Amino acid sequence: MRRPSFPLATAAFLLLSLLIPAPADAKTKKRKKTRRPVPTPVQRPYYGPPAPTPEPYLRAAGACMNITPGQYLVLAEVGATGRVFRLDAETRIEVEVRKGDRVRVLYVDGPEGPVARKILPGPIAAAPPPRTP
């Protein structure tokens, strides 16, 4: 007796469909990334490698709080107390010092406190360039 061909064809089709991989699903849409606001660039304190200091001197840096030519210079950093440096005939001033300017001071410790020997320009940190979208 002959078997009907319809059930054999159906079984073959099912077997074939299990062996052949199904087509991949349609690619899912990617969500657009929302851009976060970029903070405005501001100047930051300059922390670079220290410059070598000549042997007998100590070094200090900060903003000039007050200066009286020939007498003293008050120097302070943000969040720190100010230091007073005496100025005498041996003090070499290599920059025009104004209130608020950043300066470096090479000094020696004397019996009456620190005495400035050289006043140099302080570090000038440039603001980072703004990002362009």
Residues 71-88 pLDDT 10s: 999 999 877 888 999 999
Mean local confidence (pLDDT), 44-48 = 68
In the chain, where the domains are located:
58-121
With cut-offs at 50, 70 and 90, classify the pLDDT of residue 122. Answer: confident
Mean local confidence (pLDDT), 59-75 = 91
Query: Is the predicted pLDDT of residue 4 greater than 70, yes or no?
Result: no
With cut-offs at 50, 70 and 90, classify the pLDDT of residue 106. Answer: very high
Q: Please give the pLDDT value at position 105.
A: 93
Residues of the chain above pLDDT 70, percent? 79
Q: Please give the pLDDT value at position 55.
A: 77
Q: Please give the pLDDT value at position 2.
A: 64
Q: Please give the pLDDT value at position 123.
A: 72
Mean local confidence (pLDDT), 83-104 = 91
For 105-110, the CB contacts below 8 A with 24+ separation are 105/59, 105/60, 105/61, 105/73, 105/75, 106/53, 106/54, 106/57, 106/58, 106/59, 107/57, 107/58, 107/59, 107/60, 108/56, 108/57, 108/58, 109/58, 110/86
Q: Please give the pLDDT value at position 17.
A: 76
With cut-offs at 50, 70 and 90, classify the pLDDT of residue 107. Answer: very high
CATH 2.40.50.320 assigned to domain 58-121? The reply is yes
